[in-house]
Amino acid sequence: MLKGHLDLIVLAALAAGPAHGYAVIEEIRRKSGQAFDLPEGTIYPALHRLEQAGFLSSRWITVESGRRRRVYALTRLGDRALAERRAIWRQFSDAIGGLLSRARPRRKPA
Amino acid sequence: MISEYLDALATALNFDRALARTVRDEVEDHFRESIAADRTTDGVEAEQRAIAKFGDPHVLAGQFAVVSLAKQSRKIAVTILLVLVALFITMKTRVAWYALTQWTISEDVKPIGNIIGSIDRYAFWLSVVVGIGCWAYISGCRIPPSFDLEFRKHLRNFFFLCVASICALFVSVVSDGILTVLQLLGPEWSMKVVIPIGSMTVEIACAGVLALQVRNAVVLISPAAALTNIQERGKRP
């Protein structure tokens, strides 16, 4: 179920600002209260896929240790996609919430 | 241990060297961060944990292969469009040159020249229409996380359109070549042959670039597809 929403999760993690893969994973972990436990490596193909789709842009920077680091950021298209997916998710969540809150046993007909 | 893992991942991605290099650098950075954040004092244990949390390199390579296939397909579609634009410009340049130098085809070969000219025109515009369709089709395709049936179907359709466009384009280039030869059969040869011969060379070079691009994509598909099969097997219990 989590995999079906991976793109939304990654886009949401990048909503706060540009970040590299590890920071994205940490952000997902932090925001979800450690609830999402998917193999960390899965995030990277998702980042590449979202970049291919035009939702993310990336650039390489060099960190203090001299290592190269790829930093991803939401593009305008990605921002729009996130807003759309967020709205769809809220609608779905409200609908399920409504269904579950009304799940009381029906009275037997007289 | 980390470098062994990175080597395994880079080797699995060897069909796309640029991607293999990029992924290697990116994943190495991840591991260094992950190990630095691990509070245990034992470095080996931290490395083991980082690798275990990251996942199977072959399964990951399979997921990257899908992205690579999509990227290559889009690249081919854009190349087809660029080659078509280049061919259009060279053809128009040649025709303008013939008009400027008042260089007409000799009367004996005019009938055959007209037939080949029509074939050339229809083949070129067919290639343009199918080429644009090809680009629109692959641009509209969503890149899935795995090599699913729908994506396979899209790739098959895309390659079918590609082959149709490229075949029509080759017919157009060959027709152009024949027309140029017919034109050169004229009485006098001078410096004015430079433009037709030069433009034909550009056309042949463009067709060659396209053929090379398609060949590279085909070479990439089989190892990428093999990797995606590993990915599918990995999902099974």
CA distances from B195 to A11, B102, B118, B176, B199 (A): 53, 14, 22, 13, 6
Query: Is A66 in the B-facing interface, judged by CB distances under 8 Å?
Result: no
Chain A nearest-CA distance from B63, in A, is: 6
Query: How far A101 CA sits from the closest chain B CA (Å)?
Result: 34
Determine if residue A16 is left, alpha or beta; phi over 0 gives left, psi from -120 to 50 gives alpha, anything else beta.
Answer: alpha
**A90: distance to nearest CA of chain B, Å?**
23
Residue B145 three-state SS? coil
Q: How far apart are CA B137 and CA B120, in angstroms?
A: 25
> Across the interface, which of B33, B54, B70 has its CB nearest the CB of A41?
B54
pTM of the predicted model, to two decimals?
0.77
The CATH number given to A3-101 is 1.10.10.10
Q: Does B227 touch chain A (CB under 8 A)?
A: no
First to last CA, chain A: 42
Mean pLDDT for the stretch of residues B20-37 = 89
Mean pLDDT score, B113-140 = 91
Separation of CA A100 from chain center:
25
- Helices (H) and strands (E) counted in chain B, each on its own, are 7, 0
Residue B91 CA to residue B105 CA, distance in Å, equals: 16
Residue B12: is its pLDDT beyond 60? Answer: yes
Compute the average pLDDT of residues B109-119.
Answer: 87
Query: Rounded to an integer, what distance in angstroms lies between the CA atom of residue A40 and that of residue A24?
Result: 10
CA A26 vs CA A13, A65, B102, B168: distances in Å: 9, 20, 72, 51
DSSP B190: -
Query: If you average pLDDT over residues B146-174, what whole number do you get?
Result: 87
Residues of B in contact with A69 (CB under 8 A): 29
Query: How does strand A56-62 pair with strand A19-20?
Result: unpaired
| 0.90 surpassed by complex ipTM | no
Q: Is A65 on the interface with B (CB under 8 A)?
A: yes
B43-53 tens-digit pLDDT: 788 888 888 88
- Range 77-106 of A in CB contact (< 8 A) with B: none
Low-confidence ranges of chain A (pLDDT < 50): 1
pLDDT on residue B237: 44
What crossing angle do the helices spanning B17-37 and B43-54 adopt, rounded to 10°? Answer: 130
Mean pLDDT for chain B?
84
Mean pLDDT score, B11-37: 88
Q: Sorting pLDDT into bands at 50, 70 and 90, what band is B41? A: low
Q: pLDDT class for B82, splitting at 50, 70, 90? A: very high
